[in-house]
Chain A
Amino acid sequence: MEQAKLALLTEKAREIRLGAVKAVYSAASGHPGGSLSIADILSYLYFSEMNVDPKDPKKADRDRLVLSKGHTAPALYAALAARGYFEKELLSTFRQADSILQGHPDMKHIPGVDMTTGSLGLGFSAANGMALSAKISGDSYRVYAILGDGETEEGQIWEAAMFGAHYKLDNLMAFVDFNGLQIDGKITEVMNPTPLDEKFAAFGWNVLTIDAHDFDQIEAACRAARECKGKPTAVIAKSIKGRGVSFMENEVGWHGKAPNKEQYEKAVAELSV
């Protein structure tokens, strides 16, 4: 990847992380761990991969993103703000009664949100529906979904996986944010959904495994997904929960907890260049 592009994506990922932490701190509530783990994927999708226009958020031929792991809305909102869908200042109103920024993504009121999500398992099906719709009318847009690894414990994920392969939705690409942790602990100890690569392959998907924090690997995966015909692509994106804030990294306690003032300031310092 060119240095300039890498620098841009790195900078945008940093902005997304800062914005997400700021939103959660302002709300004194929210999910920082899984927001930080998907920041690099969101940076790549919004600043390199997806055909979108913040000035025309509903344009018919846009690529769509469904954040199926909707609790990490702080990262999505920070990415949308960074991309110019709304003012960054709005992030500090996250989860407030007079704000459009709901605790989980709300497509009716938030510019750039393509699907309402929050209840796990549902968004992935909706992404399949969007991809099928494009096939029906011969539209060329692509659909991206981001799933949690814990989310794959939902049976509906596998109903949707069956559906996507059955209808050969090669315009659909799903990232599984494989950070290894869910609310109650390690995914392998709470209810082991692994091996996810073999499961998706068995369901008929094109499967790739990457480092979720390496832009070259994200780029290669997106290219491979575009080139793969007749199958949807699942990317097992190995990530670090809390990535970028030292005391949050790999700590399950930061799944759904807001930092206090001191912790927030430390996080901001670490995320500032």
Chain B
Amino acid sequence: MADKIATREAYGNALAEFGAKYDIVVLDADLSEATKTCVFKKQFPDRFFDCGIAEGNMMAVAAGIAATGKIPFASSFAMFAAGRAFEQIRNSIGYPHLNVKIGATHAGISVGEDGATHQCNEDIALMRTIPGMTVISPADGTEARAAVEAAILHDGPVYLRFGRYAVPYLYDESTYKFELGRGIKLAEGSDVTIVATGLMVHLALEAKELLKAEGISAEVINIHTIKPLDTELLAASASKTGAVVTAEEHNVIGGLGGAVCEALAGICPVPVLRVGVEDTFGRSGKVPALLELYGLTAANIAAKAKAAVSMKRK
């Protein structure tokens, strides 16, 4: 097994794998080579339907398919799924709570060279405000695969957020267990809690090491399900450490950071600092350069963690 894989790649593989086990239908909007639904298409051509470059229609077609009892996966880039087709998702899928799975790839800044029009840093915010919508953002290939099966087994609309850029494997498929709505504590710590999602999870683990060298003990939590949020785990950790840093490849407004602040403000108010795209648009560039440019780094997580620790009530 390679030591790295893009979660979109794991998504395509998972669709093909689970296509043999479950009666799923896969839709795409002329991006199957990029979203990797082409892997499913190759194996199950009679259950794959290209909708052309018409994402709004695709989402409502998916709603119609779900209304007849099948489980459709509607795939496109996050920008055109959550962004372009927001209202179709809200009114035709969310409101009637139909069993549609939205496979949104190329989320966040790590789209890279295509630049701002294709870098969706708003999708978590958009999707989690839809009542009844489950929002999942896997951290690695293993988690992405498991999330696809969990989405199939969950009755209701699910938004799955995948990345274009290869990320290291964090989990072993033979031991990994995905529980919808349950965060995963990756490391115990006592001074600060780092809550991360998606591509930022492995950087959070790096940040923990940086902090350790400075004598700060960080707890690391992977939140793969942003909605419903594991508030129990978050509150328990926050009350123990007294300070929180969130990390996501998304606008600092409305995403994981927003969700964590909303949750903790009511049940365990502690300082929360957010690492993410600072309310700005992206730009073209190589992914490592962009992650550096927008502060999506282990060093920035560690710096924010130190700042959060210093804000704790003495």
Contact = CB atoms under 8 A, between A and B. Distances in A.
A42 B60 CA distance: 23
Interface of B: 25, 46-47, 49, 51-52, 54, 56-70, 72, 87-88, 91-92, 95-97
Query: For this complex, into which size category does the number of interface residues on chain A fall?
Result: 35 or more
Interface string A141-168: 0000000000000011001101100110
A273 to B, nearest CB: 38
A156 B54 CA distance: 8
A136 B25 contact: yes
B33 to A, nearest CB: 19
Contacts of A114: 67
Contact of A133 (B58, B59, B60, B68): B68
Interface stretch (A91-99, A115-123, A177-185, A256-264): A115-123
Given A114-B67, A163-B57, A129 B91 contact: no
B95 A116 contact: yes
B91 to A, nearest CB: 5
B64 to A, nearest CB: 2
A118 B64 CA distance: 15
A128 interface: yes
Given A107-B67, A123-B60, A129-B64, 5 more contacts: A115-B67, A122-B63, A128-B64, A129-B65, A166-B52
11 contacts: A60-B69, A107-B96, A108-B97, A115-B63, A122-B92, A124-B60, A129-B67, A129-B72, A130-B65, A132-B61, A163-B54
Given A116-B95, A122-B88, A159 B67 contact: no
Contacts, number: 109
Interface of A: 60, 64, 66, 106-108, 114-116, 118-119, 121-134, 136-137, 139, 155-156, 159-160, 162-163, 166-167
Nearest to B51: A163
Contact of B64 (A106, A121, A133, A139): A133
B272 to A, nearest CB: 36
Contact of A129 (B52, B63, B95): B63
Nearest to A119: B91
A106 B66 CA distance: 15
Contact of B57 (A60, A108, A125, A139): A125
A124 B56 CA distance: 11
Contacts of B51: 163
A128 B56 contact: no
Contacts of B25: 133, 136
Contacts of A136: 25, 46-47, 70
A132 B64 contact: yes
A129 B65 CA distance: 5
A139 B88 CA distance: 26
